[in-house]
Every structure is written in C-alpha cells, then in structure tokens.
Structure 1
C-alpha cells in the first residue's frame, strides 16, 4: 500500500518534505501533549482556587494556546488520512506547513505563559514576568530568529557562489 509520507528513492521533493514534516511533528507533539496534561491537572489541585485573578487569566490563555497547538499539530495527520489519496501534494504540504507554524506559535505562547504561571506561584508575579520574558527571548531566538537568519544567510551564500562561477 502506498503511503504519502514514505520517502522513496525515486520520490519527489514533495514526498521528502512530507516525510520530514512528519518527523518534525513527532518531535513537537509530545511536548505539547505533556504541557497540556500538566495544565489539565492544575485546577484540581487544592491551591488553585487561591491564585489571583491575573494568574487565572494567564492559566486560561495558556491552556487555550496549549490545546490549540495540539489541534494544529495533529490536523495534518488527520487531514492526510481523510483526504487519501492526495491529489495535490504541494497544496497539502503548504497547508500542513501553515498549520505547523501556527501550532508552533501557540506552543511558544503556551510555554512562555506556563513559565510565567509557575514562577509567579513560586516566586511572585515580578519573577514570573521576568522568567516569561527570558523564555520568550530564548524561544524567539532559537525557534524563529536563528532559522530565518540561517536561511537568508545560506540563500545569500548560494547566490554569491553562483555569481562567482
């Protein structure tokens, strides 16, 4: 049986891209699942009712972002299964990529806000905000800025190399 995510030696770039995307989603999904599981248990802890209103709002937004990341990360796999056989691989890959990026944005927000929530509870609101800003900077640099910079640099290098030849 032909699987659209299987990389074949004679396959197209779309085949390889779909396979790479599946591997990337397999890396992201457990983190989003673990964070969501953690967040699901919080309201059932005895001290949750005593957190301040701001922390409850942070929790609500964090939970929403975490659940949204799960939906967006699992969307391509479910859509792939329901749309088989894929008639337009490139369009599907583009749609799945947009969902994956949106899911990563949601996961970024959920991680930053959960850092705020935990640190605010342990060390106070000022420390929670400080840690959240630090995490936002770190995630922003590693997940967003560095890959875009590296891609542009490689693209510029490839263009310069072509001019020399």
Structure 2
C-alpha cells in the first residue's frame, strides 16, 4: 500500500501513518500483555518446582523476551509523549514503526519459547522443540517473508497494476 496520498499534506500523512501504527500496536499489545501475565503467574503454580534446568531456562527466556516485547510495543507511546507538540510527527512515526518491528521480533521469540515450555511438559522435549520450530517458521513466513515478498512484488508492478 502506498503511504503517499496526493490529497494530503505531509502533516496529514504523518497523522494518518501514526494512527495506523497505534492501531497495530493495540492489537499486539493485548497479546503480549496476556502472554507476559501468564508467564508471571507460572512460578506461583505448584508444578513449577518440578521443572528441570532446561524448562527453567526456557521459562526465563520466555519471561524476559515477553518483557522486552512489552517494552518495545509500549515505547512508541512514551516517545510520542516526549516529542508531543514539537512538530516531529514524521520522526515519531519512524521511531514508533521501528519499536513495533522490534516488539514483534521479541514477541515471536517469546511465543516460541512459551509454546516450547508448555509442550515440553505435555508432550516431551523432542516434540516440543519440533513444534516450536514449526511455529517459528510459520511466524517468520507470515510476519516477515510474505509481507516482504508482497512489498517487492508491489514495487515491480506499475501504479494501478494488481
């Protein structure tokens, strides 16, 4: 999708693009916060004491990756507040987009680790690692490869081509 509309000013474009980023962040923030909250409660469960070293390491990785994803996905709000009324909306949009990409990266890793942890307990280590690897591949394909291929294809087509 082209981010430039001939009927809008640069300020209007920046406002529209920032609105788009905020909407995307609303979707991802909910998911990462639920995952983070779930992980924060795990040590309070009685079965947590039975985890082996691998499972505890995966738990710690999941928790920390979820925390970093949460930080990245909330950071655009803090950055916007710091830059408010400074007439830097295009820069705010650029920074927010970078934080969103970083947040998605850490969220993808957190999802894979959390799924590995749970499946390790339910199905065993080998199956858990295999499924977590498949999930990681699916995330890579759907969140990165497919959009980038679409973007590349869009750049090769002329305006109005579908």
TM-score with structure 2 setting the length:
0.89
Measure how far apart 1:22 and its partner are. Answer: 0.5
RMSD across aligned positions (CA): 1.7
| In the alignment, structure 1 residue 27 sits paired with structure 2 residue 27 | yes
Aligned to 1:57: 57
Aligned residues: 153
Contact 1:80 1:86 in 2 (8 A): no
Aligned to 1:41: 41
- Deviations 1:17-43, CA, capped at 9 Å, x for gaps: 101001000110000010001100111
Divergent runs of 4+, >6 A: none
2:157, 2:105 → 1: CA distance? 29
Please state whether the residue corresponding to 2:157 is helix, strand or coil: helix
1:104, 1:59 → 2: CA distance? 19
Structure 1: runs of 5+ lacking an equivalent: 1-8
2:56, 2:107 → 1: CA distance? 19
Structure 2: runs of 5+ lacking an equivalent: 1-7
Superposed, which structure 2 residues align to 1:1-165 within 5 Å? 12-158=12-158
Measure how far apart 1:118 and its partner are. Answer: 0.6
Contact 1:35 1:66 in 2 (8 A): yes
